Amino acid sequence: MIKLLRYLKPYGVLLVAIFALAVGQSVANLYLPDLMANIVNKGISTFDTNYIWKTGGLMLLVTVGGVLCSIVGIYLSSQVATGMSKKVRSVIFNKVQYFSLHEFDTVSTASLITRTTNDTAQIQQVMVMMLNMLITAPITLIVGIILALKQDVGLSWILIAIMPVLITVIVVLLIKAVPLFTAMQVKLDKLNLILDENLIGVRVVRAFNRIKHEEKRFDIANRDVTDIAIKVNQLIATMMPVMMFMINISSISIIWFGSLRVSSGNLQIGAMFAFLQYAMQILFSLLMVAMMFIMIPRAEASATRINMVLEMEPEIKDKSKVKEAKEKRGYIELKDVTFSYAGAESPALSHISFTTSPGKVTAIIGGTGSGKSTLVNLIPRFYDVASGEVLVDGVNVQDMSQEHLRSKIGFVPQKAVLFAGSIDDNLRYGKESAMEAEIKHAADVAQASEFISKMPDGFNSPIAQGGTNVSGGQMQRLSIARALIRKPEIYIFDDTFSALDFKTDAKLRAALKGETRDATVVIVAQRVSTVIDADQIIVLEDGRAVGIGTHKKLMETCDVYKGIVSSQLSAAEIEEET
Ligand code: ADP
Ligand code: MG
């Protein structure tokens, strides 16, 4: 919590104003009982109407002043608290942008969402309360006690008796409530995870008739959250009546014993009422402090979760001194690269070496799980190699800034990802300043123009979240167009063509050839027809390159490649026969 307070910095002036207003409010509240005592003691006992009017008017003024201070104070502290949580949300979001894929394995996306939304809201709520009470409660408590004693020392034993009891109740409550708050956030994570998974996988849930099962899963998580919330509220619900009971007991005792002292002439009636009011103010501010103590641990639990995200060190970071690769364009070189995923037994890639240069097409072929995607993910440095080097334009990718490196690359991932927005928005993701003509051209090359023109609003047609309103092949083509718009030095297509039918695939590759003539192209593919005219084909098996060369050379030297070719050929022949 303390660490998050640094995001209050820009509000220094407002904070001073809030605290000043809080002081004003407490002074007004503490002044009122004194004035009332005066009215009762002097005004009423001497029938001095003039005095009553004057002091009454002053009381009214003080009240209005106090209320104004409190209204403006609450307004300002809401501003500060919401401003702070806005800042915290954006800091979390920005931090997460620099996470490498490794960090996403550590904190689930569902939990990241809870942390950005619910946890920040908890802190905001506490901030509003704290800003309002941090000053008023202690002032009222301490000055209130002094002023009460000034009115009458004889009744102070009532306060001395009641306060330890109240404090004990508060402490017991705290000890019981704190663990519940931490548990609450964890359960909320779980609930969000299930909801997130369910909504993304809604088609699978339906297809496998698992609606009942999912409902049960959600129910359990939902009930967990509810159970804890009920326990928390039960605690607070028992606390309130107990507190109120004690406060009322003390007010009855003050009147009871006060009246005895008044009738014996030891106490003026006005002083008794003033004492009563001070006692109420003291006990209520004690109650407020208690509320604060209940909410702070809750915010603390949230703050810990937020800080954990903010303090995570991304595994892949730019060096403090980065190099720029200016001399060469479009050169990729892998030198004896070996790579393993965290926790994997055997390396996903071992001893891979190859080079490629502008104008050349490098194809990577191999069975599922042979390491093709892993290999192309190393070029934009989505992961760091275990040994060996990845060089782009002659510079080790670890020495470049990630931004510089990735600006050279047009990456089309295996799983196309589109963002909610129009088609135009999605294509501009590649290059924001793209001209309309560039966008049209890219769509043409990617064979996307035809289906785009059939959509009601053309390029302005909306894409739903996750791209669910276009087909897999259409998504792939949009994702290709998005990469083409960048006009990068290096194109990487990770199995991009397998979602397309043979005809579109052939047309697309023919159009791409013209577009990528001067660029370096790396294509991951399953189909032999896609790789057949590549300048070099890398055949992967279990993370090892078992053959590198042209189609012709590999047909002579590489058994694995021959196996792939013959399996696809026979598949095609079988298709023809049936
Ligand atoms: P391909 O693209 O050739 O189908 P991949 O490169 O995706 O294969 O995967 C190669 C191997 O690495 C597989 O055995 C797969 O299980 C493993 N793998 C892929 N991604 C991850 C990951 N994020 N964490 C751990 N292992 C992974
Ligand atoms: Mg793959």
Write down all domains in the chain, each with its CATH number in brackets: 2-311 (1.20.1560.10), 328-408+488-550 (3.40.50.300), 416-487 (3.40.50.300)
Å from CA of 375 to ligand 2 middle: 9
| % of the chain residues with pLDDT over 90 | 55
Sign of CA dihedral 95, 97, 100, 105: positive
Distance CA 180, CA 225 (A): 10
The whole-number pLDDT of residue 439 equals: 93
288 pLDDT tier (thresholds 50, 70, 90): confident
Å from CA of 349 to ligand 1 middle: 10
Averaged over 303-325, what is the pLDDT? Answer: 88
The whole-number pLDDT of residue 391 equals: 95
75 pLDDT tier (thresholds 50, 70, 90): very high
577 pLDDT tier (thresholds 50, 70, 90): very low
User: Is there a contact between 447 and 477 (Cβ–Cβ < 8 Å)?
Assistant: yes
Ligand 1 atom closest to the CA of 370, numbered from 1: 3
Looking at the DSSP assignment, which residues form a beta bridge with residue 395? 392
- Cα separations in angstroms, 232 against 3, 118, 178, 243: 26, 17, 9, 17
The whole-number pLDDT of residue 578 equals: 47
How many CA atoms lie within 13 Å of 4's alpha carbon, on the beta-carbon side? 31
pLDDT digits (tens, 9 = 90+) for 538-547: 999 999 999 9
pLDDT digits (tens, 9 = 90+) for 167-223: 888 888 878 887 888 888 889 888 988 988 888 888 888 899 999 999 999 999 999
Backbone angles phi, psi at 206, to 5 degrees: -65, -45
571 pLDDT tier (thresholds 50, 70, 90): low
The whole-number pLDDT of residue 301 equals: 85
Distance CA 191, CA 455 (A): 37
Spell out which residues line ligand 1, taking CB within 6 angstroms: 341, 344, 348, 366, 368-374
User: Is there a contact between 537 and 509 (Cβ–Cβ < 8 Å)?
Assistant: no
Ligand 1 atom closest to the CA of 105, numbered from 1: 23
Average pLDDT of the chain to the nearest whole number: 90
For residue 374, count other CB atoms closer than 10 A to its CB.
Answer: 20
Residue nearest to atom 13 of ligand 1 (CA): 369
Give the number of whichever ligand sits closest to the CA of residue 414: 2
Averaged over 502-527, what is the pLDDT? Answer: 89
Task: With a cut of 90, say whether residue 500 has pLDDT above it.
Answer: no
The whole-number pLDDT of residue 196 equals: 84
Assigned token pair, 336: 């004896």
Distance CA 568, CA 561 (A): 11
Burial bucket for residue 197 (CB in 10 Å: 0-12, 13-18, 19+): middle
Task: With a cut of 50, say whether residue 101 has pLDDT above it.
Answer: yes
What is the separation, in whole angstroms, between the first and last Cα of the chain?
A: 70
pLDDT digits (tens, 9 = 90+) for 226-240: 999 999 888 888 888
Task: With a cut of 80, say whether residue 569 has pLDDT above it.
Answer: no
Averaged over 37-43, what is the pLDDT? Answer: 87
Task: With a cut of 90, say whether residue 33 has pLDDT above it.
Answer: yes
**Segments of 409-557 assigned E as strands:** 409-412, 421-422, 462-463, 490-494, 520-525, 536-541, 544-549
Å from CA of 531 to ligand 1 middle: 21
Distance CA 177, CA 297 (A): 9
Task: With a cut of 60, say whether residue 46 has pLDDT above it.
Answer: yes
Task: With a cut of 70, say whether residue 18 has pLDDT above it.
Answer: yes
Mutate-to-test residue for ligand 1 from 99, 338, 341, highest number of ligand atoms within 8 A of CB: 341
